[in-house]
């Protein structure tokens, strides 16, 4: 896999920042997007192999301009890491239409728009790899995660279909599904909640969110190891899988769901498969 030049969204914090730092230390070229270029430059300094780009994922013109500038400076894009986004946790009924749409706008449609802008570059190269950052919560539904799960399940389905479309063109695609890592994901800079309050949900919802507070910075995953892992797998001399689970907990939750689906299928297998035209 060619991996000399990376285009990374959401590079000013979390995994995006960690991976960008490591890539620069290892001699890679990085076009790093953020809504706050000054913040990113203050963290990384000036670097010959770094191009910091101001991008709002809801602004297609800014996305297109960023891709154009990246190609002008680095003459191509080998790997796109769709990393930007935020979490949204609350009950579905207590989440407004506007809040849900905004979550889709940034996390899903923003990712799609960046990918659409990068694809002509990769098609002309006849090579490239696209990472979309999903979540184990985009594979396994949990309480108070309905909006975020909807976004990430959609991301997974889109990624899987996109992988089939792009394979004949020499472009590969992977969805990364991290479990819990000690990043700022559960902090106010990366996570939002719904605004409505319905009494019927109050007791169990409050208990769940009280427990959530104890998870912050106590997750099982080491973000430094995650960043090293993502870079390391791009050096493998083999095609990466479409679905990449990251973390012990991600594997555990995925395996539990796979077993649960198998049990559900087995319960109704005989009548459900006897529906064909005879």
Question: 221 with 182: CB under 8 angstroms?
Answer: yes
Q: What is the pLDDT of residue 31?
A: 97
Confidence label for 181 from pLDDT (cuts 50, 70 and 90): confident
Tell me whether strands 5-8 and 29-34 are parallel, antiparallel or unpaired. Answer: parallel
Please tell me the least confidently modeled range out of 29-38, 85-94, 111-120, 239-248.
Answer: 85-94
**Which residue out of 28, 135, 139, 152 is catalytically annotated?**
152
Task: Sketch the domain layout of the chain as residue ranges.
Answer: 5-250
Helices 37-44 + 14-25 axis angle, to 10: 40
130-155 in b/e form (b: 16+ CB < 10 A) is bbbbbbbbbbbeeebbbbbbbbbbbb
The 10s digit of each residue's pLDDT in 39-88 is: 899 988 888 999 999 999 989 999 999 999 999 999 999 999 999 988 88
- Cα distance between residue 206 and residue 92, in whole Å: 15
CATH number of the 5-250 domain: 3.40.50.720
**134 included as an active-site residue:** yes
For the ranges 39-43, 129-133, 230-234, the lowest mean pLDDT is seen at 39-43
In order of 15, 91, 203, the CA distances from 80 in angstroms are 14, 33, 43
pLDDT at 187: 60
pLDDT at 71: 97
**Known active-site residue 152:** yes
Which candidate in 134, 135, 146, 175 is catalytic? 134
Annotated catalytic residue within 28, 139, 144, 148: 148
Residue pointed to by tokens 């949900």: 201
32 within 8 A of 73, measured Cβ to Cβ: no
Give the predicted TM-score (pTM) of the model.
0.91
Report residue 100 as tokens: 């849900």
Burial 26-53 (b: 16+ CB within 10 A, else e): eebbbbbbbeebeebbeebeeeebbbbb
pLDDT value for 62: 95
175 tagged catalytic: no
Lowest-pLDDT range, 61-65, 71-75, 203-207, 216-220? 216-220
Place of tokens 């995994």: 15
Q: What is the mean pLDDT of the chain?
A: 91
| Confidence band, pLDDT 50/70/90 cuts, at residue 192 | confident
**Range in 30-44, 61-75, 83-97, 197-211 with the lowest mean pLDDT:** 197-211
Q: How confident is the model at residue 191 (pLDDT cuts 50, 70, 90)?
A: low
- What confidence tens digit (pLDDT) does each residue in 150-180 have? 999 999 999 999 999 999 999 999 999 998 7
């Amino acid at each position: 896999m060619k991996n000399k030049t990376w285009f990374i969204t959401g590079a000013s914090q979390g995994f995006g920042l960690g991976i960008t730092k490591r890539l620069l230390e290892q001699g890679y070229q990085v076009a790093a997007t953020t809504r706050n270029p000054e913040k990113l430059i203050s963290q990384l300094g000036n670097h010959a192999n770094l191009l910091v780009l101001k991008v709002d994922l809801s602004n297609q013109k800014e996305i297109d301009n960023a891709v154009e500038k990246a190609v002008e400076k680095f003459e191509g894009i080998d790997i796109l890491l769709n990393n930007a986004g935020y979490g949204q946790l609350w009950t579905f009924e207590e989440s407004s239409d506007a809040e849900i749409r905004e979550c889709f706008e940034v996390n899903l449609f923003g990712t799609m728009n960046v990918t659409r802008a990068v694809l002509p570059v990769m098609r002309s190269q006849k090579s490239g790899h696209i990472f979309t950052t999903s979540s184990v919560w985009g594979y396994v539904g949990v309480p108070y995660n309905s909006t975020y799960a909807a976004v990430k399940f959609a991301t997974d389905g889109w990624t899987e279909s996109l992988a089939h479309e792009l394979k004949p063109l020499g472009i590969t695609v992977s969805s990364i599904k991290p479990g819990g890592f000690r990043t700022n994901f559960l902090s106010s800079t990366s996570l939002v909640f719904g605004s409505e309050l319905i009494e019927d949900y109050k007791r169990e919802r409050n208990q769940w969110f009280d427990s959530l507070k104890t998870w912050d910075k106590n997750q099982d995953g080491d973000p430094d190891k995650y960043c090293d892992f993502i870079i390391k797998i791009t050096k493998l001399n083999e095609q990466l899988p479409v679905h990449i689970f990251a973390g012990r907990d991600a594997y555990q939750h995925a395996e539990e769901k796979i077993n649960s689906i198998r049990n559900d299928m087995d319960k109704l297998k005989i009548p459900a498969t006897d529906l064909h035209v005879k």
